[in-house]
Structure 1
Amino acid sequence: MLSASCGRLASVLRSTRVLPSTVARRYLRASGSRPSADQRERTEEPPRAFDPSLLKFLVCPLSKKPLRYEASTNELINEDLGIAYPIIDGIPNMIPQAARMTHQSKKQEDTEQQ
């Protein structure tokens, strides 16, 4: 279906003298395509909330231990490692590089106490 739409769009673009981007926008609007990201932002849909019942299934990808949901910061917290995973539009970002440290490492705490 997509290839047929692309073929029709290409034939329309070849037969017109109007800017291709104008024809493409008009064609895509007429074919009932989904709204673009810009159009979705203009409608200002409310951000999706995280469902805490998912905590039964989610574990830290590093330690494989359960996580705690912190509503005030909208993060999933691993207390043992001191890592907080952000939740964006109701979807947890469980990539370790995206996580932030919630406390200093024990070595740093020990050196500060001495």
Structure 2
Amino acid sequence: MLSGPCRLAASALRGGPRLASAVGSRAVHAAGPGPSADSPGSSQAAPPSAFDEALLDVLVCPLSKKPLRYEMSTNELINEELGIAYPIIDGIPNMIPQAARMIHQNKQQEEKAQE
């Protein structure tokens, strides 16, 4: 049985479809229409923005309120205690728990595959 922050993280990662769809629809609505590929002055997709590591001084995990570690190779913010990683998209951390991925399960699966 999970306890404390681990239980909270697990339940948030499972999330309900209503919560995920509500968050997604608000994000799309707030963003408005994006630039189209055939708009004047558009070019190829710009390279992703770099993450400003100075944000690590103020960002914490929304579930455990613990500091996060930036992993440059995967472009994610890592919470080692809960074993979750939040993606960074275009230089903006996606701190929604449903968007995080479990990293300890992936390590266990990799170890089993290597045996």
- Calculate the TM-score normalised by the size of structure 1: 0.56
Indicate the SS of the match to 1:42.
coil
Shift of 1:95: 0.2
**Partner of 2:88: helix, strand, or coil?**
strand
In the other structure, the counterpart of 1:65 is: 66
Q: Which residue of 2 aligns with 1:36?
A: 35
How many correspondences in the alignment?
Answer: 72
> Is 1:52 the counterpart of 2:59 in the alignment?
no
Specify the alignment match of 2:20 in structure 1: none
1:14 aligned partner: none
Which protein has the larger Cα radius of gyration, Structure 1 or Structure 2? 1
Runs of at least 5 residues in structure 2 that lack an aligned partner in the other structure: 1-33
Report the equivalent of 1:79.
Answer: 80
Task: Name the structure, 1 or 2, with higher relative contact order (CA <8 Å, separation 6+).
Answer: 2
Structure 1 gaps, min length 5: 1-34
Q: Which residue in 2 is equivalent to 1:98?
A: 99
Q: Which 4+ stretches in 1 moved above 6 angstroms?
A: none
Identity among equivalent positions (%) equals 72
Q: RMSD of the alignment, in Å?
A: 2.3
Instruction: State the secondary structure of the residue aligned to 2:56.
Output: helix
Q: TM-score w.r.t. structure 2 length?
A: 0.56
